[in-house]
């Protein structure tokens, strides 16, 4: 079952550290969100291969939006 990595808050996408096809381990930084001038890293909870990155730097995300899918 794929892991859906979702936004936990309304934020701007500051940077994206992975692309589709990348292998990740638990704790790998997938992307960085920015909210209220704070940078918040978003980490993989499980290992696997990134199957899809749904956001780009500069995007605004809402709570619950899917950011990355790890298969």
Range of the domain at 38: 3-70
pTM reported for the whole predicted model = 0.93
Q: Which CATH number characterizes residue 50's domain?
A: 2.40.50.100
Q: How confident is the model at residue 1 (pLDDT cuts 50, 70, 90)?
A: confident
Query: What is the per-residue pLDDT across 41-58, written as a single tens digit (0 to 9) for each?
Result: 999 999 999 999 999 999
Residues 6+ apart with CB under 8 A from 58: 12, 13
Radius of gyration of the chain (CA): 11
Q: What is the pLDDT of residue 43?
A: 97
Domain count, the chain: 1
């Amino acid at each position: 079952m794929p892991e859906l990595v979702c936004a936990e808050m309304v934020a701007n996408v500051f940077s994206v550290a992975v692309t589709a096809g990348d292998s990740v381990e638990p704790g790998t930084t997938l992307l960085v969100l920015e909210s209220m001038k704070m940078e918040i890293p978003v980490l993989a909870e499980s290992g696997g291969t990134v199957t899809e990155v749904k956001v780009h730097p500069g995007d605004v995300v809402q709570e619950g939006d899917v950011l990355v899918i790890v298969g």
